[in-house]
Amino acid sequence: MTGLYIHIPFCATRCSYCDFYSQTDSALLSDYVEALIREMHLRRGEITDPVGTIYFGGGTPSLLSPRELEHILDEACRLFPLSSDAEITLEANPDDLTQAYTQEIAALPINRISMGAQSFRDEDLLFLNRRHSSRQVYEAVDHCRHVGLTNLSIDLIYGLPEQTPARWQDNITAICSIAPPHISAYHLIYEEGTSLTRMLRTGKIREVEEDVSLEFFCMLREQLTEAGYEHYEISNFARPNRHSRHNSSYWNDAPFLGLGPSAHSFDGKCTRRANVADLRRYLAAIAEGEAPYSKEILSANERYNETLMTRLRTAQGLPISLIEERFGAKRAEECLQAVAPFVRNGLLVKQEDGRIRLTERGIFLSDSIISELFIV
């Protein structure tokens, strides 16, 4: 199965923490839709297997009108072999999910909504410069459910400055009361070039203490597990059979084609393509009939590091047999030696079936553990 990622690089406003490629001037939006379709035509040969997932990500894909979404989906279905049970996800901002909008998109083949709620507390939303209120999140959920869009994923952000366990508990309680089939929760990251990072550097805000972050993470994990969610990837929780199939295919090295500026593609073996992260250069390349990407062939070491990175982030862990199959018995032996100190420290566990997994304590330190296992 192949995944199709469609990037929509437009946002109505800029959130204070975000460094994704997008712009707030939507004057080029309709030209962009046509360019996306031309890119599909240009790159149709890159997809031969059935497309099992389509993901509209951004940016803010819910800035597209239902007609524009329909146009893109019609062309995708015409050009690519779409599996009959394909998962088709639209990332959406809660304030775009009005009654009228949800009614119209429910008539399209979109069958999953990933909603950027981020918090159920209005002060947090103001601080993050989100353009919606907590009330709009509840309304958006109701609108989606009313028209049968029940396969919902909701994103939360935690680890905000001044956030206390009681305030974070408000968010956990709220998400549990909504009980969406899928929840993604990310720790706030101070990315270069964002207004939050500037506030941090000038001393206007302070990062939350690491032990408090750990407490937030444990609260979330414990209460969602208790509520019947599987913690199947470091930042992702799902009800049974409601994992994100699109994101899971990234973690399982499945091929995917990414369309739009800054989108990445992978052939499932060793070739990555990165589209130019600039809307005007992207539009110019497409107008000339040129592929808008640079290509990179991953070395064996880079593929090994990626395998560790993606597999260890999942609850299923890293099968040592996979390392042996892909990189040989010697590399599998070296991998076992490298993980041994972490197993002794209780940060990784080696299961009887030969899988290596992060322990509960290890999950929170995953980035540093995994980077220490990398081959440089």
Stretch that binds ligand SF4, among 17-25, 76-84, 221-229, 306-314 (CB under 6 A): 17-25
Helix then strand then coil, in percent of the chain rounded to 5, is 45, 20, 35
The single-letter DSSP state of residue 23 is B
Does 248 bind ligand SF4 (CB under 6 A)? Our answer is no
Cα dihedral 317→319→325→330 (10° resolution) = 100
Least Å distance, CB 286 to ligand SF4, is: 22
Stretch that binds ligand SF4, among 56-64, 173-181, 325-333, 362-370 (CB under 6 A): 56-64
Task: Give whichever of 18 and 286 is closer to ligand SF4, judged by the CB atom.
Answer: 18
Contacts 24+ apart (CB under 8 A), 194-203: 194/16, 194/17, 194/18, 194/19, 195/14, 195/16, 195/129, 196/16, 196/17, 199/16
Task: Give whichever of 157 and 369 is closer to ligand SF4, judged by the CB atom.
Answer: 157
Selected from 2, 39, 51, 60, the binder of ligand SF4 by CB under 6 A is 60
Task: Give whichever of 116 and 181 is closer to ligand SF4, judged by the CB atom.
Answer: 116
Does 114 bind ligand SF4 (CB under 6 A)? Our answer is no
Least Å distance, CB 60 to ligand SF4, is: 5
Does 369 bind ligand SF4 (CB under 6 A)? Our answer is no
Stretch that binds ligand SF4, among 58-66, 250-258, 335-343, 352-360 (CB under 6 A): 58-66
Stretch that binds ligand SF4, among 14-22, 143-151, 172-180, 203-211 (CB under 6 A): 14-22
Does 186 bind ligand SF4 (CB under 6 A)? Our answer is no
Residue 295 phi, psi dihedral angles, 5° rounding: -115, 145
Does 14 bind ligand SF4 (CB under 6 A)? Our answer is yes
- Cβ–Cβ < 8 Å for 56, 17: no
What's the residue count for the chain? Answer: 376
Q: Cα(99)–Cα(215) distance, rounded to whole angstroms? A: 37
Does 20 bind ligand SF4 (CB under 6 A)? Our answer is yes
Does 116 bind ligand SF4 (CB under 6 A)? Our answer is yes
Does 22 bind ligand SF4 (CB under 6 A)? Our answer is yes
- Cβ–Cβ < 8 Å for 327, 375: no
Does 18 bind ligand SF4 (CB under 6 A)? Our answer is yes
Selected from 8, 11, 73, 285, the binder of ligand SF4 by CB under 6 A is 11
**Residue 310 neighbours by CB under 8 Å, 6+ apart:** 250, 251, 252, 253
Q: Cα(293)–Cα(260) distance, rounded to whole angstroms? A: 10
Residue 313 phi, psi dihedral angles, 5° rounding: -75, -15
Burial class (CB in 10 A: 0-12, 13-18, 19+), 179: middle
Note the residues at the interface with ligand SF4 (CB under 6 A).
11, 14-15, 18, 20, 22, 58-60, 93, 116
